[in-house]
Amino acid sequence: MRAIILLLLLAGCATVPDVPTEVRVPVAVPCLTVDQVPRATFKTDADLAKLPDGPLVLALAKDRLERQAHIGRIEAILQGCVK
C-alpha cells in the first residue's frame, strides 16, 4: 500500500509543464487619411526627355528602384488597414 501511495506522489511530480504558445491578438490601428500617405517625387517626362541616352538609362533605373522602395513603404504602412 505504501508503495502505491509513493508511486502516486512521484507521478504527480513528473507532469510536463505547459509549453508556451503564440497567441496573435489583433490590435486596432486607425487607417490613414489621404494627407498622411507618404508622397514620392520622381522625374517628369519633360526632365527625362532632356537627358542624353546614358544619363537617361541611369535616371530610369534610379527612379525604378526608388519607386519599388516607395511602394514597399506604402504597403507596410497600409497593412494595418486591410481587413
pLDDT value at 17 more than 70: no
pLDDT of 18 over the 70 cut: yes
Average pLDDT over residues 20-27: 81
- Mean per-residue pLDDT, 16-38: 76
Do the domain assignments include residue 72?
A: yes
Q: Total structural domains in the chain?
A: 1
User: For the segment 54-74, what is each residue's pLDDT rounded down to a tens digit?
Assistant: 999 999 999 999 999 999 988
Range of the domain at 64: 30-83
Q: How far apart are CA 83 and CA 30, in angstroms?
A: 12
Is 1 contained in some domain?
no
The whole-number pLDDT of residue 64 equals 94
Q: Does residue 76 fall inside a structural domain?
A: yes
**CA distances for 48 relative to 20, 33, 66, angstroms:** 57, 32, 16
In the prediction, which pLDDT does 58 show?
94
pLDDT on residue 27: 74
Confidence category of residue 16, pLDDT binned at 50, 70, 90: low
| Any domain includes 39 | yes
